[in-house]
Chains A and B, each alone.
Chain A
Amino acid sequence: MSTVSAPDQARSLINTGRLQRELDEASLEAVVAVSPENTYYLSGAYIRTQVSIRDRLALVVWLRSGEPTFIVCNIEESLVERESWIKDVRTYVEFAQSPINLLIEVLKERGVKGGRIGIERRFLTAEYHDELVEGFEADFQPADHLLERVRAIKTAGEVDRIKDAFLKTEVAIRDAWADSRAGDSERLIAERMAAEITKRGADGVRHITLASGENTIHAHRRPGERKLAPGDLLLTDFGGNWGGFCSDMARMGVCGEPSREVAAEFQKYRAAYVDTLHFLHPGVAAADVFNHCAEAFRQQGLELTGPHVGHSLSRAGGHENPILHPFNQQPLEEGMLIALEPIFRANDVRRYHLEDLILITRAGREIMTDWESTAEMIRIAI
């Protein structure tokens, strides 16, 4: 058992060295984190309502020099006191005071007036942004990519937590599918998966798509009443929330025996997939991974569909840069985690989809999930 308290642990999960370097390079006096993923990353407090109630802002003001300030709705004060390592917590009363108004007070107090301040323009809404720019004189700069780059390089603690979440997610899928058989509805199988993942420690399901037979053609199919029949493909893209971290895995199954055509297609798809898995290494651009994958598909006589073949992910954030798409020149770096997930749509009648977690290491990569177990599709009893 660790003797480190939760708040101190949260601090150790932050890549503070990289953050400092980024702030120095961009000459920013401060950066203001607004999105749930960034405030959670920087504060260690996971504020559930930040996701469900978008107006109720939580903000971390991180200064180039000096301790950070955490601005939260007073409803969350007690949670923040217990979970965050940030000592300077300021609260606003919802509806009585605008969170931006309090942010402006804090910025004034910290003496950054007129300076360069990074903000998350991709998350802050137009309305709040207008309020900030009109109420405080500063050189506001977009800092979305900056924070993304900091979060993209994982600390050892983060890698352990995310890996653990993925491994348990895979077991949840396999156990739920082992209990399933022909005649079960997609919905029933999904319920089993949800029960299995919470049994293994997830706080809940983050996303679940589950499709069988002809439904596999849809990218994000919600499980429905369709019943599994012998020969059907079963496909899931499934993830849970794990104390603020998330998992995101795709696996394929088949009810009974696959047709020869499907078995052959799957092996071709998987060969291209495995080839791409082993292509990941530091220094390669995200776009090159996409292009390599497209080429691997072509060599198998398949056409790659989908605008990207994978993405990074972090605490509370599902799809993060580097996203492996053909226009992203960002290089992979040691310490990044990638969820690889190329998709193949066969003749517009079915889809093939696997997803594994890979850590980029100095020497190349370490595949963190049990990719070898996907050599065959998971068998579901007839």
Chain B
Amino acid sequence: MIDTKSAVIDRESSLGKARDAIRHAELHALVAASPANFYYLTGTSFLSQRTIPERLGMVSVTASGEPTLIYCTIEEGHARQESWIKGLRGYTEFVDTPVDVLSEVLREQGFERGRIGIEMRFISARDFERLRQALPEAEFVAADGLFDRMRAIKTQGEIELLGAAALATDESIRAAFEEAAVGMTERAIGDLMQAECRARGGEQLIHLVLATGENGFKVHALPTDTKLERGGVLRTDFGMSWGGRYFSDIARTAFVGPLQPWQEETYRKLERGHQAVIAAMRSGVKASDLYRLCAAEFEKASLDFKMPHIGHSIGVVMHENPMLQPFDDTPLEAGMVFMLEPGVTGRDGFYHTEDMILITEDGHRVLSRSADWSEPMVLS
């Protein structure tokens, strides 16, 4: 059971990063509204932010002074007990409109004509229009990139939790695959993986793609009652939540056996391409360069390269920036955590592998391999 209880971010570091961003972007206030960024700046987030997105939780941080946390009064207990923010402002659902409370707060802070950073990639068109109408003289600027950069370099606590979660997820997949045999359904294998993961501290299922047979051609196929057959491929892409807010995300491909020659060839080529990209991961290298390297490796191996990205950062969001895609020129830095996940459609479905790579001062560390996946796994 891994430790999912300890806090992995702290007030000083999170608010420090936010205030650096405020200075850098010459803002008066920085407002977080997405559950991920809200958590990063307040130390908590509410379950209902995800299940009922209109029940907004927001926090407004300024260059100095206590930030203001805006919450639905239903979540009062959480706001008081769980957040490190002391400036609290509750609103009553259906009576108050959350963005109106935000404009009131910004007005009180004296930023009616201020430059306000908001999450344009989160806030809805409707809420944004209302905010603009309430504060017609304020200047709203997209702060999504600022938040991305704040979260990209993980704290030591985050690295430990994410690494342990990735390893536990890999162990769970391996353990379930070791139990899998001809005749078992996708669903049964998926259930096993979940049970294994829960026993290691995994909380909620975030995604469980699991496919064999014809389903193997669907990249994001959910498990069905399709049974494993001799000579088939078994593939999964699986993740759970850890510590309430962090994610794991591991993809693996195995073979029911007997291993067919084309299966072995495709698997080994994919693994070689994967390892070549891992070898190149170190600080200073651009995300887009890794994408191009992967494309080149695939071409060398005569593998069909079709992926719009080959990996992503991970943390409180499943896909975080920087992304390993052709238009992201962010240089890698020590403390970033990537999921590298090349895949290829072969003769009998999609083959996929995914590992967690931590960028370190002197290169990288693979955090997610509990077993030797360099050899194709053949079910017993």
CB within 8 Å of B: which residues of A? 46-49, 52-55, 73-76, 78-79, 82, 93-96, 119, 121-130, 142, 144, 191, 194-195, 198-199, 203-209, 217-220, 222, 225, 243, 306-308, 318-319, 323, 325-328
B365 contacts partner chain A, Cβ-Cβ < 8 Å: no
B221 contacts partner chain A, Cβ-Cβ < 8 Å: yes
The complex places the Cα of A82 from the Cα of B219 at a distance, in Å, of 11
Q: A52 contacts B206, CB within 8 Å?
A: yes
A48-B220, A93-B308, A121-B125 known; A126+B77 contact, CB < 8 A: no
Q: A127 contacts B120, CB within 8 Å?
A: yes
B46 contacts partner chain A, Cβ-Cβ < 8 Å: yes
B327 contacts partner chain A, Cβ-Cβ < 8 Å: yes
The complex places the Cα of A128 from the Cα of B144 at a distance, in Å, of 13
Map CB proximity to A onto B54-84 as digits: 1 under 8 Å, 0 otherwise: 1000000000000000000111011000000
Chain A, Cβ-Cβ closest to B225: A201
B217 contacts partner chain A, Cβ-Cβ < 8 Å: yes
Majority secondary structure, A binding face: mixed
Partner of A218, one of B78, B120, B204, B222: B78
A125-B125, A327-B95 known; A94+B51 contact, CB < 8 A: no
Q: B327 contacts A96, CB within 8 Å?
A: yes
A-B contact pairs, 11 of them (CB 8 A): A75-B308, A82-B218, A198-B191, A203-B205, A218-B78, A219-B74, A220-B47, A220-B75, A222-B47, A323-B94, A327-B95
Q: A75 contacts B219, CB within 8 Å?
A: yes
Q: Name which of B108-116, B266-274, B275-283, B317-325 contacts chain A.
A: B317-325
The distance from the CB of B82 to the nearest CB of chain A, in whole angstroms, is 10
CB-CB nearest 7 A-B residue pairs? A129-B125, A204-B205, A126-B128, A94-B308, A127-B120, A220-B47, A307-B93
Q: B51 contacts A306, CB within 8 Å?
A: no
A54-B122, A195-B195 known; A79+B94 contact, CB < 8 A: no
Which residues of chain A are within 8 angstroms of B94 by Cβ–Cβ distance?
307-308, 323, 325-328
The distance from the CB of B90 to the nearest CB of chain A, in whole angstroms, is 11
Chain B, Cβ-Cβ closest to A241: B205
Which residues of chain A are within 8 angstroms of B204 by Cβ–Cβ distance?
194, 204-205, 208
Chain A, Cβ-Cβ closest to B350: A78
The complex places the Cα of A16 from the Cα of B304 at a distance, in Å, of 41
Q: A79 contacts B218, CB within 8 Å?
A: yes
Chain A, Cβ-Cβ closest to B201: A187
Partner of A203, one of B198, B208, B328: B208
The complex places the Cα of A243 from the Cα of B224 at a distance, in Å, of 10
Q: B74 contacts A142, CB within 8 Å?
A: no
Most buried by A among B94, B123, B325: B94
Q: Which bracket fits the contact residues of B? A: 35 or more
The distance from the CB of A213 to the nearest CB of chain B, in whole angstroms, is 14
Q: B74 contacts A127, CB within 8 Å?
A: no
Partner of A209, one of B47, B123, B128, B205: B47
Map CB proximity to A onto B138-160 as digits: 1 under 8 Å, 0 otherwise: 00001010000000000000000
Q: B77 contacts A219, CB within 8 Å?
A: yes
B126 contacts partner chain A, Cβ-Cβ < 8 Å: yes
The complex places the Cα of A50 from the Cα of B59 at a distance, in Å, of 25
A78-B217, A82-B218, A209-B47 known; A95+B309 contact, CB < 8 A: yes
Partner of B125, one of A124, A191, A217, A307: A124
The complex places the Cα of A209 from the Cα of B50 at a distance, in Å, of 13
The complex places the Cα of A73 from the Cα of B219 at a distance, in Å, of 12
Which residues of chain A are within 8 angstroms of B46 by Cβ–Cβ distance?
220
Which residues of chain B are within 8 angstroms of A125 by Cβ–Cβ distance?
120-125
Q: B77 contacts A218, CB within 8 Å?
A: yes
The complex places the Cα of A217 from the Cα of B75 at a distance, in Å, of 11
Chain B, Cβ-Cβ closest to A207: B51
Q: B194 contacts A79, CB within 8 Å?
A: no
A219-B75, A306-B74 known; A52+B318 contact, CB < 8 A: yes
Partner of A124, one of B92, B124, B244, B328: B124
The complex places the Cα of A52 from the Cα of B327 at a distance, in Å, of 21
The complex places the Cα of A12 from the Cα of B300 at a distance, in Å, of 48
Q: A96 contacts B326, CB within 8 Å?
A: yes
Chain B, Cβ-Cβ closest to A343: B74
Which residues of chain B are within 8 angstroms of A124 by Cβ–Cβ distance?
124-125
The complex places the Cα of A339 from the Cα of B5 at a distance, in Å, of 33
Q: B217 contacts A95, CB within 8 Å?
A: no
Which residues of chain A are within 8 angstroms of B126 by Cβ–Cβ distance?
121-122, 142, 144
Q: B47 contacts A76, CB within 8 Å?
A: no
The complex places the Cα of A49 from the Cα of B318 at a distance, in Å, of 10
The complex places the Cα of A52 from the Cα of B309 at a distance, in Å, of 16
B52 contacts partner chain A, Cβ-Cβ < 8 Å: yes
Chain B, Cβ-Cβ closest to A133: B125
Q: B77 contacts A79, CB within 8 Å?
A: no
Chain B, Cβ-Cβ closest to A46: B222
Map CB proximity to A onto B297-329 as digits: 1 under 8 Å, 0 otherwise: 000000000111100000000110001011110
Which residues of chain B are within 8 angstroms of A206 by Cβ–Cβ distance?
51
Partner of B220, one of A55, A79, A194: A79
A79-B218, A198-B194 known; A126+B325 contact, CB < 8 A: no
The complex places the Cα of A298 from the Cα of B195 at a distance, in Å, of 45
The distance from the CB of B139 to the nearest CB of chain A, in whole angstroms, is 14
Which residues of chain A are within 8 angstroms of B17 by Cβ–Cβ distance?
none
Chain A, Cβ-Cβ closest to B76: A219
Partner of A96, one of B92, B244, B308: B308
B207 contacts partner chain A, Cβ-Cβ < 8 Å: yes
Q: B319 contacts A307, CB within 8 Å?
A: no
Which residues of chain A are within 8 angstroms of B309 by Cβ–Cβ distance?
94-95
B48 contacts partner chain A, Cβ-Cβ < 8 Å: yes
Map CB proximity to A onto B338-354 as digits: 1 under 8 Å, 0 otherwise: 00000000000000000
Chain A, Cβ-Cβ closest to B47: A220
Partner of B51, one of A75, A217, A319: A319
A94-B325, A127-B142 known; A308+B125 contact, CB < 8 A: no
Q: A220 contacts B78, CB within 8 Å?
A: yes
Partner of A95, one of B125, B223, B328: B328
Chain A, Cβ-Cβ closest to B216: A78
Q: A95 contacts B318, CB within 8 Å?
A: no
Which residues of chain B are within 8 angstroms of A199 by Cβ–Cβ distance?
191
Map CB proximity to A onto B185-221 as digits: 1 under 8 Å, 0 otherwise: 0000001001100100001111111000000011111
The distance from the CB of B234 to the nearest CB of chain A, in whole angstroms, is 18
The complex places the Cα of A8 from the Cα of B256 at a distance, in Å, of 33
The complex places the Cα of A348 from the Cα of B207 at a distance, in Å, of 37
Map CB proximity to A onto B117-138 as digits: 1 under 8 Å, 0 otherwise: 0001111111111000000000
The complex places the Cα of A128 from the Cα of B47 at a distance, in Å, of 26
The distance from the CB of A35 to the nearest CB of chain B, in whole angstroms, is 9
Chain A, Cβ-Cβ closest to B323: A95
Which residues of chain B are within 8 angstroms of A54 by Cβ–Cβ distance?
121-122
